[in-house]
């Protein structure tokens, strides 16, 4: 609705205030202080500082974009920058007057030090305004550059910041492969050296610039290749991908392998929920129940502790766990077959909670161990070796994921897959077309539950002990989030979503407390801005954007 012409001072101030309040929010809930422990560039920039400037940077860029003339672009961006400093400045002033910490636990002296740049109240505020204004100015200048250069510079900046963020991990890896001396030439005390940061920025910018010049040519050359050779190329890609996946743990080391394993378990669950929610359109919030059933079956069957009954091997217990989860899927799915949409979501949520509370209760304590859980679950054994290392367990997870991905892929193109999608689009029409709703829906619940049970079984064996509180609603939300972020109904989307939502928070460990805040915000933002996800399937994209093309509701509050 905002056209180029009517962008004016008031809008700039509004944008500035929004940016300022976002920065204030991030600071007051404690993210800034927490993340400023992580240095990006030694002695210059921490992640916390970056976070304060982030909202200002993005919104001042937007202000520049919306301005009609170049001169006003600079002005607007700087205004956004300056205005965005106001809320934080107020925070500094208030803090110096009364002790806010007795109410808001996260307004610590550390935080005030960060936002006032270690100076006193007055100087600190002056520097804050100057810095925010500068950010606005820089963003407008970036905007005014020719598009090609602009894109390259942004790529370079982002790459540098990402490398800086993960310096700690990269230091460790470099030390293992190239020795301490080499890692010290790049990183210092878990952060990039300023000179190296500059080099990375320049090199990536240059590379990206070269790619924008020649990339189109390469793409064009690919387009004229005959179809058959294209197919070979694609198969080649898959082979390369598989080889990389197979060799991955050799390069990752044990910590990163562990992270990848966690991601893998969530990919497995995501693929299952993707069938239920993404393909068949049945929003299941109690998905964790099947994960729990898989895990508990594995635990009870294999545990060498007092609660174990079978003492069988992992490989024997695995199909039983999957079967148990599948049966549970059918059992819980049957009564809810007639429900749709949000009622279904709430009922399944209720199921999930019932299962968790039962596992936690004294009633089943003699079987499932109550709150103390089940201990002493052995790790899987393969050809005589026990897979203790995360790098070894990785192959079990990988095998599960590949199997699930293959099954999902084949199903999505099968008659059953098309029936699911028909149900998702319109249940009544699907029924009229002769689709057996009972059978089709139950198959969706069953297959989804089977994947989740498989994930649960591997999870139990990986952790060697399980407790009811690991199976709370947050897991279901987590899985739902990752398929939404990746794109509902899209298989690569599940992997992308799991990497972003499970992998990233594990790498930024101090972020753990705020992970669900991020999930919540992400769910809202995704639904508002990109409901089809980052890697959408073609159908979903069309459907979810359809409503935006229709006539909007008469919005009376907008017309001021």
Q: Which is nearer to another protein, 125 or 285 (CB)?
A: 285
**DSSP 8-state class, residue 277:** I
Interface residue with another protein among 127, 170, 248, 522 (CB under 8 A) is 522
| Binding status of residue 552 toward another protein by CB under 8 A | yes
CA 46 – CA 49 distance, rounded (Å): 5
Q: Which is nearer to another protein, 239 or 358 (CB)?
A: 358
Q: Which is nearer to another protein, 199 or 523 (CB)?
A: 523
Q: Which is nearer to another protein, 349 or 368 (CB)?
A: 349
Interface residue with another protein among 12, 336, 421, 430 (CB under 8 A) is 336
Interface residue with another protein among 69, 70, 231, 340 (CB under 8 A) is 340
Min CB(206)–another protein separation in Å = 40
Neighbours of 481 (CB within 10 A): 25
Min CB(532)–another protein separation in Å = 11
Question: Contacts from 332-339 at CB under 8 Å and sequence distance 24+?
Answer: 332/286, 332/289, 332/445, 333/441, 333/442, 333/444, 333/445, 333/446, 333/449, 334/442, 337/437, 337/438, 337/441, 337/442
Secondary structure of residue 381 in the 3-state scheme:
strand
Interface residue with another protein among 519, 533, 536, 537 (CB under 8 A) is 519
Interface residue with another protein among 144, 247, 337, 433 (CB under 8 A) is 337
Min CB(498)–another protein separation in Å = 18
Q: Per CB under 8 A, which of residues 205..234 are in contact with another protein?
A: none
Find tokens 């199909």 and name the residue: 319
Interacting stretch for another protein, rule CB under 8 A, among 165-173, 211-219, 231-239, 525-533? Answer: 525-533
Interface residue with another protein among 248, 403, 407, 523 (CB under 8 A) is 523
| Binding status of residue 534 toward another protein by CB under 8 A | no
Q: Which is nearer to another protein, 5 or 550 (CB)?
A: 550
Alpha helices, DSSP H, located in 274-389: 288-302, 314-333, 341-360, 365-368
Interacting stretch for another protein, rule CB under 8 A, among 157-165, 178-186, 460-468, 542-550? Answer: 542-550
Q: At what angle do helices 227-273 and 491-498 cross, to 10 degrees?
A: 60
Q: Which is nearer to another protein, 67 or 360 (CB)?
A: 360
Q: Which is nearer to another protein, 109 or 335 (CB)?
A: 335
| Binding status of residue 521 toward another protein by CB under 8 A | yes
Interacting stretch for another protein, rule CB under 8 A, among 61-69, 112-120, 258-266, 357-365? Answer: 357-365
CA 238 – CA 537 distance, rounded (Å): 19
Min CB(123)–another protein separation in Å = 28
Q: Cα 84 to chain center, whole Å?
A: 28
Q: Backbone phi, then psi, for 214, in 5-degree steps?
A: -105, -15
* Cross-strand partners of 472: none
Interface residue with another protein among 244, 357, 402, 512 (CB under 8 A) is 357
268 and 479 Cβ atoms separated by less than 8 Å: no
Q: Per CB under 8 A, which of residues 499..518 are in contact with another protein?
A: 513-514, 516-517
User: Strand locations in 44-155, DSSP E?
Assistant: 45-46
Min CB(104)–another protein separation in Å = 6
Interface residue with another protein among 139, 256, 269, 283 (CB under 8 A) is 283
Interacting stretch for another protein, rule CB under 8 A, among 1-9, 311-319, 338-346, 379-387? Answer: 338-346
Q: Per CB under 8 A, which of residues 14..33 are in contact with another protein?
A: 25, 28-31
Interacting stretch for another protein, rule CB under 8 A, among 74-82, 149-157, 247-255, 350-358? Answer: 350-358
Interface residue with another protein among 48, 249, 278, 281 (CB under 8 A) is 281
Q: Which is nearer to another protein, 170 or 544 (CB)?
A: 544
46 and 37 Cβ atoms separated by less than 8 Å: yes
Interface residue with another protein among 203, 520, 538, 542 (CB under 8 A) is 520
35 and 511 Cβ atoms separated by less than 8 Å: yes
Neighbours of 151 (CB within 10 A): 16
CA 180 – CA 173 distance, rounded (Å): 10
CA separation, residue 241 to residues 235, 244, 245, 246, 503 (Å): 10, 5, 6, 8, 19
Interacting stretch for another protein, rule CB under 8 A, among 142-150, 176-184, 335-343, 403-411? Answer: 335-343
Element (H, E) at 192: strand 191-192
Among 444, 467, 478, 470, CA closest to 326: 444
* Cross-strand partners of 386: 381
CA separation, residue 99 to residues 96, 118, 247 (Å): 7, 18, 55
Per-residue mark of binding to another protein, 80-119 (x: CB under 8 A)? -----------------------xxxx-------------
Interface residue with another protein among 351, 394, 459, 511 (CB under 8 A) is 351
CA 56 – CA 59 distance, rounded (Å): 5
Interacting stretch for another protein, rule CB under 8 A, among 185-193, 200-208, 250-258, 351-359? Answer: 351-359
Helices and strands (H, E) in the chain, number of each type? 24, 6
| Binding status of residue 438 toward another protein by CB under 8 A | yes
| Binding status of residue 538 toward another protein by CB under 8 A | no
Interface residue with another protein among 180, 198, 335, 512 (CB under 8 A) is 335
Interior angle at CA 247, CA 245 and CA 253, nearest 5? 105
93 and 121 Cβ atoms separated by less than 8 Å: yes
Secondary structure of residue 289 in the 3-state scheme:
helix
Element (H, E) at 147: helix 147-165
225 and 473 Cβ atoms separated by less than 8 Å: no
Residues that bind another protein (CB under 8 A): 25, 28-31, 103-106, 281, 283, 285, 334-343, 345-347, 349-351, 353-354, 357-358, 360-363, 365, 438, 477, 480, 484, 513-514, 516-517, 519-524, 527-528, 531, 543-544, 547, 550, 552-557
């Amino acid at each position: 609705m905002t056209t180029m012409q009517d962008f004016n001072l008031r809008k700039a101030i509004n944008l500035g205030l929004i940016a300022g309040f976002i920065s204030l929010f991030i600071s007051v809930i404690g993210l800034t202080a927490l993340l400023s422990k992580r240095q990006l560039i030694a002695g210059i920039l921490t992640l916390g500082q970056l976070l304060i400037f982030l909202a200002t940077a993005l919104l001042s860029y937007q202000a520049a974009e919306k301005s009609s003339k170049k001169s006003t672009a600079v002005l607007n961006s700087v205004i956004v920058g300056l205005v965005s400093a106001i809320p934080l400045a107020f925070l500094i002033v208030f803090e110096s007057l009364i002790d806010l910490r007795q109410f808001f636990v996260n307004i610590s002296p550390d935080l005030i030090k960060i936002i006032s740049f270690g100076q006193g109240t007055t100087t600190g505020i002056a520097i804050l305004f100057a810095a925010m204004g500068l950010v606005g100015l820089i963003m407008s200048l970036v905007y005014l550059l020719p598009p090609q250069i602009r894109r390259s510079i942004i790529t370079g900046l982002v790459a540098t910041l990402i490398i800086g963020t993960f310096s700690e991990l990269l230091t460790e890896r470099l030390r293992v492969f190239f020795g301490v001396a080499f890692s010290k030439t790049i990183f210092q005390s878990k952060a990039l050296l300023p000179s190296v940061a500059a080099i990375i920025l320049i090199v990536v910018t240059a590379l990206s610039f070269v790619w924008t010049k020649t990339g189109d040519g390469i793409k064009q050359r690919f387009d004229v290749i005959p179809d058959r050779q294209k197919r070979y190329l694609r198969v080649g890609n898959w082979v390369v991908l598989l080889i990389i996946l197979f060799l991955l743990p050799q390069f990752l080391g044990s910590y990163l392998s562990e992270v990848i394993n966690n991601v893998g378990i969530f990919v497995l669950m995501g693929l299952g929920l993707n069938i239920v929610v993404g393909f068949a359109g049945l929003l299941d919030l109690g998905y964790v129940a099947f994960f729990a059933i898989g895990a508990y079956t594995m635990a009870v069957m294999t545990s060498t502790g007092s609660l174990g009954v079978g003492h069988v091997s992992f490989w024997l217990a695995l199909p039983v766990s999957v079967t148990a989860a599948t049966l549970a899927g059918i059992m819980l799915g049957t009564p809810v077959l007639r429900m749709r949409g949000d009622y279904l979501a709430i009922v399944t949520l209720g199921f999930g909670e019932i299962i968790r509370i039962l596992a936690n209760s004294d009633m089943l304590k003699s079987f499932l161990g109550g709150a103390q859980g089940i201990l002493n679950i052995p790790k899987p054994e393969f050809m005589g070796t026990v897979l203790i290392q995360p790098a070894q367990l990785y192959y079990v997870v990988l095998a599960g994921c590949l199997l699930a991905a293959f099954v999902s892929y084949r199903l999505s193109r099968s008659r059953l897959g098309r029936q699911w999608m028909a149900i998702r689009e319109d249940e009544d029409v699907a029924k009229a077309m002769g689709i057996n709703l009972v059978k089709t829906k139950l198959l969706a619940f069953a297959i989804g539950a089977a994947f989740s049970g498989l994930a649960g079984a591997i999870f139990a064996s990986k952790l060697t002990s399980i407790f009811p509180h690991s199976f709370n609603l947050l897991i279901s939300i987590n899985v739902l989030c990752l398929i939404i972020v990746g794109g509902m109904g899209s298989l690569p989307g599940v992997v992308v979503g799991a990497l972003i939502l499970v992998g990233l928070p594990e790498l930024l460990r101090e972020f753990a407390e705020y992970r669900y805040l991020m999930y919540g915000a992400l769910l809202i933002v995704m639904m508002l801005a990109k409901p089809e996800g980052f890697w959408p399937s073609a159908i979903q994209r069309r459907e979810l954007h359809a409503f935006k093309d229709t006539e909007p509701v008469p919005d009376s509050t907008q017309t001021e």
